[in-house]
Amino acid sequence: MEYKVATTQNLDFSAAEVALVDKFVWDSDYMPKTEARLIYVENKGFALRMECEEKDPKATYYNFYDPVYKDSCLEMFLTLDGVRYMNIEMNANGASLMAIGAGRKERTHIDKIMTPPTVKSGKTENGWFAEAYLTIDEVKTLYPTFKFEKGARFRGNFYKCGDETQIPHHGMWSIVGTEKPDFHRPEYFGDFVIV
């Protein structure tokens, strides 16, 4: 599975390919329609927008590094070096949890390395959205050898979850082949390419 990351001159999510977060392999009682879009804004960085048709998302956390995965949560995990992956997890309040490391237990909170990337959230007519912006400087701090150019490849996944919502759920774009819910599995990431 491959996701094409559009290159734009400005912040234009309409130019982005839509990734459907529609695989619920562990539970299927609740499968809200969820979409993700990632673009590379030339000479500026990456912009992520995720939307979910969820009228009343659970949103109890407000601070950086709160356990937002317990709320209604939209997430992107990505690796630009094939060794360490970054998790960006966001709720409808704009609270986020971001870390980087080689595995679930070897994580460093992003705020120990740099100021966390900007997150924006809000309500839509049918649900809610969350956006995250990673500048070129932020990406270079985490992945100094990554080259922002057409054809550049990396790996990642988009997720929708809610561990402590009324109906716990775990959706993904690229299927994770584990018996129990576990998003921290980079071996199941899909391929991304800048076009």
pLDDT digits (tens, 9 = 90+) for 32-58: 999 999 999 999 999 999 999 999 999
Q: How high is the pLDDT of residue 146?
A: 96
Domain total in the chain: 1
Confidence of residue 140 (pLDDT cuts 50, 70, 90): very high
pLDDT digits (tens, 9 = 90+) for 63-117: 999 999 999 999 999 999 999 999 999 999 999 999 999 999 999 999 999 999 9
Q: How high is the pLDDT of residue 59?
A: 97
Q: How high is the pLDDT of residue 28?
A: 84
Query: Mean pLDDT over residues 171-191, rounded?
Result: 97
Task: Tell me the pTM.
Answer: 0.97
Q: How high is the pLDDT of residue 4?
A: 97
Q: Which residue, among 154, 155, 189, 192, has the nearest Cα to 175 in the 3D structure?
A: 189
CB 120 within 8 A of CB 12: no
Cα(143)–Cα(131) distance, rounded to whole angstroms?
Answer: 21
**Burial state string for 179-191 with b = 16 or more CB within 10 A and e = fewer than 16:** eebebeebebbbe
Looking at the chain, list the stretches that DSSP marks H as alpha helix, in order from N- to C-terminal side: 136-142
Token digits of residue 136: 């070129």
Residue matched to tokens 């619920």? 24
Q: How high is the pLDDT of residue 144?
A: 97
Q: How high is the pLDDT of residue 27?
A: 85
Cα(57)–Cα(128) distance, rounded to whole angstroms?
Answer: 8
Query: Mean pLDDT over residues 118-146, rounded?
Result: 96
Query: Mean pLDDT over residues 126-131, rounded?
Result: 97
CATH assignment at residue 56: 2.60.40.1190
Question: Does residue 30 register a pLDDT over 90?
Answer: yes
What is the residue range of 17's domain? 2-194
Token digits of residue 86: 């970054």
Question: Does residue 11 register a pLDDT over 90?
Answer: yes
Amino acid identity for residue 138 in this structure: E
